[in-house]
Amino acid sequence: MKTLEVRLQHDLGVEAARQRLDAALVRARSEYEQQVGPIQAEWESADRLSVGFTTMGMQFKGQIEVLPDALDVRLELPMMASMFANQIREGIEQRLGAVVKA
């Protein structure tokens, strides 16, 4: 497994960023669950969201740590997906970047 780490800067503070993540999760479940299956997400603490999903037979797990000025995303990539790490990184930067910039 390869670990992909992405930092997304924001100026929202922890609570506002967390609220935006919760809203984005509702949208993601509505838009993507038919393609990727159930999206698991659970707040492990006030500032750490554990996430997971399976797509094309590959299981992805990770965490999003909410800092006052950034989101730190850590995603474990299955071996087959590691060749797409750059595209996955870009997708995270675009989608989550839009969540904290909106």
Q: Any idea what the CATH number is for the domain that residue 38 is in?
A: 3.30.530.20
Question: Which pLDDT value is given to residue 36?
Answer: 82
Q: What is the total count of domains within the chain?
A: 1
Rounded to the nearest integer, the mean pLDDT of the chain is 93
In this prediction, residue 102 has a pLDDT band, given cuts at 50, 70 and 90, of low
Return the closest-CA partner of residue 92 out of 79, 78, 80, 74. Answer: 74
Question: Which pLDDT value is given to residue 37?
Answer: 84
> Residue 55 pLDDT more than 80?
yes
Can you give the residue range of the structural domain that contains 32? 2-101
Question: Which pLDDT value is given to residue 50?
Answer: 98
> Residue 3 pLDDT more than 70?
yes
Average pLDDT over residues 62-88: 95
CA–CA gap between residue 100 and residue 21 (Å, rounded): 8
